[in-house]
Amino acid sequence: MLPYGRHAVDQDDIDAVVDVLKNQLLTQGTAVPAFESALCKYTQANYALAVNSGTSGLHVACLAAGVGPSDLVWTVPNSFVASANCARYCGADVDFVDIDPLTRNISVECLKIKLANCRKFPKALIVVHFAGASCEMQTIAALMKKHNIVLIEDAAHALGATYQDKPVGSCHFSDMTVLSFHPVKSITSAEGGAITTNNKGFIERLTLFAKHGITREPSSLEDKDQGAWYYEQQELGYNYRMSDLHGALGLSQLNKLNTFIQHRREKAGAYLSALRALPIKLPSEDALATSAWHLFMIELIKHDRKQVFNALRDRGLGVNVHYIPIHRQPYYQKLGFEHGDFPNAEHFYQGAITLPLFPTMTEIEQQYVIDTLIDVLQ
């Protein structure tokens, strides 16, 4: 079965992990700080904190933003559930903003309408760079600044993408950006994530919440007269640290990120050229040179999605669907959301199929995907 995504690990990656196993501390050593420094250099952000998953990153980003039980957080329906769950972990309420049918990212027009008509402004907005293409961050940032709303980028799909010639993760228009290093993402640390920010206050709170709420930083201690052994738990934090094994793999992978993204863009371009005559809606070509192309999503126009999906699976293609709209999950239905609440996201979901796309996919494999899809849709 040809999967929709696959990691690319080489001998350099293996050697980096083995070096930690043989010669270094397995956790709280030098590999994770080196990875964080490299992420800062790549994204052009001032600070980076590596954590054990993108979901953990979203959670501590909400905590750092001060999200709590009396607050409201907005995000989009077409994402993995973690984009909303992170606010629920903090006890906050969640609401959604519908997507733009063309970009499949948050609709700026829907956002403006929701801001103009809402009874309560959100504490934070989490925008999702769906499939690897950036949202319209400059416009969104201006709207958030007007209402003093913390802006968090969920860039789990988008490491390696750019917006206005700046790397996604630079936080040029946001307060924090959350990254994911799951095996099918732009790079992998096996499991892992990170948060970037340019705000010193945010990085201090992010670090505190990700490390048990404990600090040893002398300037932050309430009791400054103790010895070098002394630490204080100042918040109810979590054990979200990344191990040095994962950090070493992430750092090695980061050195290959630009090559990975170039391969993804080449394969996305090949799909766009080969599939444009089919009765499907393709991703916008405007993002070809700027998206990280984590996913290549087609949208069926007249065919039954279940039949096409099963036919492709039967022929050895590990196609997928990203995503079931969050508000249609049973948990969120119990909170009062209903089918039809966000029609653009629901319409996209009804015809969405994710085609295989990953850096090491061969031309023969991609041509098989193309030929099979053409045959199934005839």
Quick check: pTM over 0.85? yes
Q: Would you identify the CATH topology of the domain 257-377?
A: Aspartate Aminotransferase, domain 1 (3.90.1150)
Q: What is the pLDDT of residue 72?
A: 98
**Tokens (6 digits) for 306:** 């279940």
CATH 3.90.79.10 for the 2-254 domain, yes or no: no
Q: What is the pLDDT of residue 43?
A: 98
Cβ neighbours for 105, distance < 8 A, ≥ 6 positions apart: 76, 99, 127, 128, 129, 130, 133, 134, 135, 136
Q: What is the pLDDT of residue 259?
A: 98
Domain range annotation of the chain: 2-254, 257-377
Q: What is the pLDDT of residue 320?
A: 98
Low-confidence ranges of the chain (pLDDT < 50): none
340 class by beta-carbon count within 10 Å (0-12 exposed, 13-18 middle, 19+ buried): exposed
Phi, psi of 248 (to 5 degrees): -65, -40
239 class by beta-carbon count within 10 Å (0-12 exposed, 13-18 middle, 19+ buried): exposed
Q: What is the pLDDT of residue 144?
A: 98
